[in-house]
Structure 1
Amino acid sequence: MQQHLFSDLNSLRALCLSPLPPSANAVHHITEREGALTKPPGSLGRLEELTAWLGSWQHRATPRLNHVQCIVFAGNHGVTERGVSAWPAAVTTLMVKNFREGGAAINQLALNAGAELSVIALEGLRPTHDFTLRPAMTERGFLDAVAEGFRAVRPDTDLLCLGELGIGNTTVAAALAAALFGGTGADWAGPGAGSDEAGMARKRAAIDSGLKRHQAFLSDPLTAAQCLGGYELAAMLGAALAARQHHVPVLLDGFVSTAAVAPLHALHDEGLAHCQIAHCSAEPGHKRLAQALGQNPLLDLGLRLGEGSGAALAVPLLRAALACHLGMHTFAEAGIAA
């Protein structure tokens, strides 16, 4: 008999409601060294904040980025039958193959970032149910996808980059964002991978239909994720949870990745404190979602690719922050009177 990591939604909820805290001791030591470096206080801006963020969640006074893990979770969605995407669901399978052959943008960006890339196809890419007709996943299916994401994170990881792939998943992300933070399809839907106006109308209508059908269950963030989400979104939520348990800071990619883990914030104000949104996607709902989570994305480059591309792009930024913190001389070492 298979032993499940999460027996039911309540066992998952219990973990979400008790997130492990950062290390105040690590922050103290990092701040102390930062103040002694040969520069005016605060002159490296967010780079200084990022070093403290890394150390606080790694629980290390000397942060490191020796083992960076980049995981792309892939899944398919029954709601694509509603004509919400410009591309057929078969493209998900073809792109997973492309990733595994090293031919996608994320392969190059992960290599450039010094990150180990893995691609995990959920449920053999079997699509979820059409959420306009019934919950996207059964409770067991949702929990198993969360567990698969949870198990994918290695405990020795220094930084986790989360990305996704799935035709139709911007529709799913918009529906989940609307369920968690209010609004309609018109408020959250964007063009995704290139929908025209007719496609956008179908997308907005599908989101509104899903919100109406599952209205009675949307007050619980986890049930909302089960009813409106997808297997790859559930896996990202599980990976973010595991990262917290293993003292691993997380870089989120774009709109879909951010929506996937947003239930952790809805359940607990500090549920995403160990995560940074790596970039602001060109997908219109992402900026609004970042604001709802109280986050200021690190980069804004007009990206809308997904794949974890923006998260991988932010890794060199963190490496630069760490290089300054560890490599600069203190005033005493430089022979300069403070």
Structure 2
Amino acid sequence: MPARRLSVVVTRRLPEVVETRMKELFDVDLRDPDDRMGRDDLVAAMQRADVLVPCVTDMIDAGMLAQAGQRLKLIANYGAGVDHIDVASARQRGILVSNTPGVLTEDTADMTMALMLAVLRRIPEGLAEMQAGEWRGWSPMAHLGHRVGGRRLGILGMGRIGQAVARRARAFGMQIHYHNRRRVHAAIEQELEATYWESLDQMIARMDVISINCPHTPSTFHLLNARRLRLLKPTAVIVNTSRGEVIDENALTRGLRAAEIGGAGLDVFEHGAEINPRLRELPNVVLLPHMGSATIEGRVEMGEKVILNIKTFADGHRPPDLVVPGML
């Protein structure tokens, strides 16, 4: 008699090739239509599944995990960040958590550079003028932005993505600086020609562009708070493709409106889709709908990692991308 296949519940639609492979391997409940599960739906899913496959829009807290029952054994997160999951509570209840690190590094770094260019060269303003049919021809003083080459880039978080951003920025002629929990290996510093700052305050006060590439953890919540934002040069630009909670969004908005900060390129926001409406009004701000990792190739690779984690677990082994509280 064949072994029982794991029951897997997927909370959002995934690329067709990923869903098809999951169907071949597991007893899968796919999401259709592709809308966000409510709290009660998530709890019900955890009660009937051996494995839950959530994503960043699914907030899974201790109270929900307490209702999951005995069946759920693995939360195979579709994404690298797991700040939406109470990992410590899950582990206490014998529920493993895995993620999909590494596959979105290059895509997110590409979008970081795109946002830098968009803000510094005022690309959205030019695009809006063209789409409105208001352009009347070239003039020497129109649409003046700032040159990227020669600017100092301060990277907050020098992990995989931070290093990928640094490599791209070097190709544009930027000077690389960084702040990190721990100083990276000397060989990496030498390769990137990167200057390490132990003091975040000292670094951000001297940078032309700040790129946020650190995860959201209790220690990074509002790491760029009102006090630190006041240290920025009035011409400085902030780019965030990591997590919105790292910045005090209200303080950032006040600084941008008062011309105390030169501009911002944001792909993530402190309160998810609930964006401060005053940000939308500012011409020196570029807002994107959390699309930094949105490539077909990246989404498929994320799905392949999820499948590998589930399959390894089903075979009685430790998932290769297991998340433990000490990593956070």
Q: Shorter chain as normaliser: what TM range?
A: 0.3 to 0.5
| Richer in helix (by share) | 1
Instruction: Between the two structures, name the one with larger relative contact order (CA 8 Å, sep ≥ 6).
Output: 1
| Richer in strand (by share) | 2
